[in-house]
Amino acid sequence: MKQIIYSKTNVGRDTKNPLLDLREEDSIYYYETLIQWLGTISKLAQAKDYAWEQCIKRRPKQLSRGKSGANSVFSVVSGLLYNYTENFKNYGVCRLSQRQLDDVEFCAMFMHAIDDAHEVLQFREALFDIGGRLI
């Protein structure tokens, strides 16, 4: 299991769903993980088997809802990658919402079940900052 460290920000307007910044090295790991997940999803799309059906199935109870209804693992992973690139371009950091962390953890468990080469992810809030490094 891989732990990813984040810190809360004062950016954003939704107090029920605060925005969070990932530690720099965890941000890079997270980005590479999203790319690997999309690679696995692409392989699933070629087979069009049960795993693919589960990947594109809308999951209203496990994943947060989008503007057009329930999301699938595929829509969440591709959306997270898009958000990562836009946030990095605009702010220079990886910024996620609290709800997105829950979605990432679910997708990590799903991807690990498909291929155990994918690690399960767990997010942990930084307790303090030592010399510019979140611990």
Where along the chain do its domains lie?
Answer: 2-11+18-126
**If you average pLDDT over residues 70-76, what whole number do you get?**
96
pTM of the prediction? 0.89
With 90 as the cut, is the pLDDT of residue 129 above it? no
**Residue/partner pairs of 93-97 with CB below 8 Å, 24 or more apart:** 93/21, 93/22, 93/27, 94/21, 94/22, 94/27, 94/30, 94/31, 95/9, 95/11, 95/19, 95/20, 95/21, 95/22, 96/6, 96/19, 96/20, 96/22, 97/12, 97/14, 97/17, 97/18, 97/19, 97/20
Per-residue pLDDT band for 116 (boundaries 50, 70, 90) equals very high
